[in-house]
Structure 1
Amino acid sequence: MLRLSLFLLVAVVVLSISEVKSQQPSNDSAEPSLLPPLAFSVPESAPIGHHIGYVEGSPQSGTDSRYFIVSTDPDKTDTAIHIDERTGEITVGAGLDYETQRRFELVAIPIGGEAGIPVTVNVEDENDNEPTFTQSDVRLEISEFVRIGAEFPLPSAVDRDGPPLDVRTYKIIQGNVNNVFKLSTKRVNNVLYADLMVNGRLDREYRESYELLVEASDGGNPPRTGELHVSILILDANDNAPEFSEKIYHAMIDANHPVEKKPILEVKALDKDSAHNGQVSFRIAQPASSVGRLFSLSSNGVLTRRLKTTLPSGTFEFPVIASDHGMPPQESSVVVSVTVEGGSSRAPSLDVLWLTDHTEPRLLENATLGSIVARVNVTNYDQQHGGLELSGCTSLCLQQSQHPFVYLLIICGLLDRETTSTYHLKFVLKKGKDVILEHPVVLTIEDVNDNSPQWTNKNYHLILNRTLSFTDVDAGNNGRLHYWIEGTDVIGIDEDTGRIHYATELDCSIGSELRFRVHASDRGNPPLSGNIQITADIVDSAGKAPQFERALYTERIREDVEVGTCVLKMVVDY
């Protein structure tokens, strides 16, 4: 109360003096009302009573008060910073906090009427705060198919200390198995942000989760740190096909095996993926074939008999497909062999099981020599009386497997769609010299981009305004061409048809002949291309006489004119 009363009193006195001075003539040599400011610094950890300095540089003697103290923010300053009204000593009056108040401004006004002394006390920041994350835990879900370099933002850490004692670095200190992650940082508006970056290939089947500990460090010495716990769940991608427990499944049954009650055998396959990607269903590859009419396979892999009549004797081999429920599904296949004993005697038959896409008789023309493309199963046939023969394509050969009634169809020669795109195959069973069964199959050879565009001539000498064309013997996009020109801006070309035309107006400096190169590329993947050199005569292509703009041209030429100088331009209408 005493300090406040004195402050009010000095305010009245100063006001009265100001009113008196305002009535007197101005005096340029009068003392200024305030001296140059004094600046002091004090660490924020300074204890109460810590000496900061003196208002006039040294302690003043005497027992009476010498100063009135005025501050811009009395509520904060009068408590935190104390100026002794008698000696002028500046001390810490309460705990300081740089993050709350960084500067205190006061004015010490001498009671004797001298100029006031501005005092500024700056609080020095110290590393008294550690980095704190906005979240202590974060959970991320990342697909195992994520690309390397993909980034996922993490919560940022905040340090109440100012630069350079704020957050300086982030690092992973725990849980980063095989260094599959790393941190990427950027500073925006004095805030350091961190992103979690994928640094290696993720494989859920190898490791389905990671528990990372991320540490934020400030710029102190020693630094203070804060921690963030990052839980990462690796989401399954359908990157595994089902794997059968056997390479081939065998079963031997009696011809009177119970119908759809007693299982013949059970196929099993394991998929390492999870959830729908790991659920497996089974089916016979060609259910409409003769095998599909004899046997039934449940989606769980249980094979049973379908016919209610006696089964024909013989060995039946057929592929079974295991498919998972992913999008798109992954598939694998296995051969099932069922031998029926004591069955009825029936006419010979054969099934061709194509081991190609969609189990159809279609082969790419670049199929590898030695590849097995089909399995041929023969039933109710006595091998002693003959064998299976194939005609219609010398590039395909039959080879008997370890089972006497199963043949493998193998590529034993080159295929070329541009030479032959369709083969009419014929599988023939003979008894001696007699044919007892013929099985025709139409085989389609599919195109690959193995031919580049070709010209009929190596060079062309032509008249403008005609169509050029390459020939590409491939099919589909592999044979579709587009064109472009190199070596001139005067001539243009239609990229689809190959028709060339003038792209700019011609003048006499061009001459009567142009040379340029035409390129053609197909649309295969990867594309193939070719090119040819063109020499073009610039003449009228319409066949009618040109009409000159004038009937007579006269021009004077100096005798020392340089060779190549254009001396006359004639305009011709076609």
Structure 2
Amino acid sequence: MCAAGRRWGRRQRVLLWGVLLAAWEAAWGQLRYSVPEEMPKGSFVGDVAKDLGLQMPELRESGVRVVTEGRRQYFALHGKTGHLVTAERIDREQLCRLVEQCVLRCELIVEGEMKVYEIEVEITDINDNAPNFKEIELEERISEMTVPGSRFPLPDAHDLDSGQNSLQSYDLSGDEHFSLAVQTGPGGDQRPELVLAKALDREEAAFHELVLRASDGGEPSRTGTARIRVTVLDANDNAPVFSQAEYTVRVPEDVPVGSTLVTVTATDADEGHYGSVKYSMKKATDMSSDIFHLDSETGAITLVQSLDFEEGDYYELELQARDGGGLFDTAKVALTVTDVNDNGPEISVRSALSEISEDAPSGTVVALLHVQDQDSGANGEVRCSLDGGVPFRLESAQGSYYRVVTARELDREQESEYNVTVRAADGGRPSLQSSRVLCVRVLDVND
């Protein structure tokens, strides 16, 4: 009778482990929500419990937590309501300055059920930024011999908002000698130009005061202004000419701050004041003007802020060479950043068992791991392995997830505790590596 009872108990335990194993193979859920930026901490994002069909008592008993990749946790789960809420105020422009659609991803992990639900939260823009010019006091120097209809590029304004809240239009106020034209660049950006509508006469007026205004499409609209002072100059026969229309540069992301990346050169056939060339950066993509410095005298472009391939791998600068008489030429610098293996693999333990019965069947899941590497290409390709000598093996799960499972049945009388070392190595040369140790204690059964 006792022997039969033991056999019945063993079958029950095998059935239980089979149910747990099946839970691992269940479909992984995904939710998507949307929330405006700058909402206070604790603001409602979505009813996770309702959308997943989970009951709060079950959630509390199973053990549930929200995990966001990276060092900062932007979301949390409200323990009483099952709502996903903001864990801090979110600034869209700070997080997603380089992308149009700002999406943050996190994971809801139900530890008791060994399930992971992926959650995407789109951070929508509000009109909390006005267009602004890097310089609000500008000076243009134009010869009195300049033909009406001539155009002069003006600095463009930048608006950190997106969509309709971003920069939409320019207008110019001043006098009858000038008008405004706006060109559309290859990427759809607007480029304002000052147009000479009426011939200048230095003897009649040596200066002209203008105001350039940039407006966004928000409700209400926000604006930014720059004052333009046009100085009328005597005649100048030759304009500067760059040695190249486009400079192409490739640099590794670990190039030291202070390095000279390229030197541009423009020459002017005139002599004296009219032949003296000054260089300036007229247009820079993204944060280029904060990363690079252009020497106005030599044309040398130096690095003033460390590069990071993972944050930006391409920069485009539009340069201008202007002589003392106001004539100019433009050139483009296209700078490509190449990746170096400066990030090691990261192993995160999403869920793990600290104890396991010695009669657990082969293939029982004891840990769920997530592995990632911020680098690209071979530098970001990660290989995972377990140190030998333990009765466990590693299985690939969804995406960058791995599962540590038992390779055979355990015997507590032979080994009562295992330290399982998981190792990850990327494909860089030399390779960067990391490891995590899982401690698993074997529980006794009456065998």
* TM-score bucket (shorter structure): 0.3 to 0.5
TM-score, normalising length: structure 1 = 0.34
TM-score, normalising length: structure 2 = 0.43
Structure possessing the higher relative contact order (Cα contacts under 8 Å, 6 or more residues apart): 2
